[in-house]
Structure formats: structure tokens, C-alpha cells
Structure 1
Amino acid sequence: MTTRDELALTVRTIISNVLGTEVDDIQEPTSLYDDYSIDSLELMEIGARLERVLALRIEVSDLTGAHNVGHAIDLLEARQAGRA
């Protein structure tokens, strides 16, 4: 199992790769909808990449329900720990 910091870096890196930004531009308070106007295809690509890297099944609601990047990390951390 990865630490929260490792998970956060993985999530931020995947998001930045999909959106074409720098990793440092993506922080936990970042809202992908408000700050980047992310569309559903980008969100699905992020989800697919996270599933591959983390070897987790990620529900669409995990991604669409996240208020910001930090909330998404929390949801993924809980999923890894088997709490969600």
C-alpha cells in the first residue's frame, strides 16, 4: 500500500499529464471543474490511468463526486484501504 503522499503525487501527476499542466499546478485545493473546466472525456482518461496505476476499480461517481483533488485523494485512499 502506498502512503498518502505517494498517492497524492500519483494522482497529481496523472491529472497534470492529462490536462497538459505542471504537477505543481495541481494541488489538493484545485477544483478540476472550476480551475480547468475539465470535460467528461478528460475525467474518464484520468480515471482509466488511475485504475491502471493503482490497480483499483474506480467508480465514475468517485471522480465526479470529488469536490477537489484532495477529496479525490481521500476517496482513493479509502478505496485502497478497503473502507469504500
Structure 2
Amino acid sequence: MERAELAEVVRSRIAQVVGVPVDEIGEGTDLRDEYEMDSLELMEIGTRLENTLGTRISADDLLEMRNVGHCIDLLHRRVQERV
């Protein structure tokens, strides 16, 4: 999966959980600061992404993500490792 395609998937799943249009979620978006997300909401995003991508995302990975772009980069590496 190309990074751009993965970015759309990630942004879409985040938008579903946050309840905002996808175009409001950019790579620089900090979910904790801008949407006051807690660990349970981050876990919900992680679960949706795991189900969509078929790859494991640890709780530690979710909690250390600084912004959406960091999330995309991490997942892109994981998806590429599977290929």
C-alpha cells in the first residue's frame, strides 16, 4: 500500500472516531491537543486501523504518536514489513 493511500485510510478512521469531516484531519493534527482525545479513543482508532489494515498496533505505539503524520509513518513501515 502506498503511503498516500494509507494516509487516506488513517485520516478516514480518525475522522469517524472524532466525528469531523476527513478534510479537517491533516498530517500535523495532534489528536490529544486539538481534539482532547483520551487513551480509550486512541485505542478505538487503533482497533479500526488494525481491522482495516490487518496489522498489529500496540498500545504503546498509539500513546507515543505525536500527530497524524507520525501515525501514518509508523503504519506505513509496519505494512511494508509485511510485504
TM bucket normalised to smaller: over 0.9
Tell me the TM-score normalized by structure 2: 0.94
Say what the alpha-carbon RMSD is for the aligned residues: 1.1
Provide the identity percentage.
54
Give the Cα–Cα distance (whole angstroms) in 1 for the partners of residues 75 and 5 of structure 2. 12
Q: What corresponds to 1:49 in structure 2?
A: 48
What's the CA shift for 1:47? 0.5
Tell me the TM-score normalized by structure 1: 0.93
Q: What corresponds to 1:33 in structure 2?
A: 32
Instruction: Select the structure that is richer in helix.
Output: 2
Tell me which of the two structures has the higher relative contact order, counting C-alpha pairs closer than 8 angstroms and 6 or more residues apart. 2
Q: What corresponds to 2:64 in structure 1?
A: 65
- How many pairs does the alignment contain? 82
What's the CA shift for 1:55? 0.2
In the alignment, structure 1 segments of 5+ residues that lack a partner are: none
In the alignment, structure 2 segments of 5+ residues that lack a partner are: none
Structure 1 runs of 4+ with >4 Å offset: none
